[in-house]
Amino acid sequence: MKQQSRLDPIDLRIIDALQQDASLSHAELGDRVGASAASCWRRIKALEAEGILTATVRLVDPEKIGRGVNVFCNIRVRHHAQEVRKPFEDFLRERPEVIECFSMSGEWDYLLRIVVADVADYEKFLMRTLLEHPAVGAAASHFALSTTKYTTALPIG
């Protein structure tokens, strides 16, 4: 909350607009948010310096690159000691199939979002890679049937 209080309405409109289309020129962005192109440029640089705006990326349609299967995998680790968790988290960061990883409260320790080509691809990853890691005690997999909503934009305002 403190971070947002330092942002004025133009900053918030800039963030919102860039979440929808990061390819906007500063002039186009200025037209959308009611500021000059130069002001938008300065504000973007300040938002980047504060770490509010991070990477600029292009989103890829997973179906079109043969990665249309989403698997949500719950993981329970054998031990919760830092010397077990850190190497496991480092391992997950290095795996390109794992595109999101959350440390969780409750029954399971981690929730992974894994993208693969098909069920056989996932089985290979699960059986030969994930379950072979010494930190993994148990796993439960859930296959997404379809995507009802997907966004990378955070609510602003």
Strands (E), the chain: 69-77, 98-103, 110-116, 136-143
Going from the first residue of the chain to its last (157 residues), give the mean pLDDT of each consecutive group of 10, the final group possibly shorter.
72 97 97 98 97 95 96 96 94 98 97 98 98 98 96 91
Would 45 be classed as within a structural domain?
Answer: yes
Q: Provide the 3-class DSSP secondary structure of residue 39.
A: helix
37 shares a domain with 86: no
What is the number of other CB atoms lying within 10 angstroms of the CB of residue 19? 15
CA neighbor of 110 nearest in space, from 78, 146, 132:
78
Sheet with 110-116, strands from edge to edge, namely 98-103, 110-116, 69-77, 136-143
22 shares a domain with 43: yes
The structure's pTM equals 0.88
134 shares a domain with 67: yes
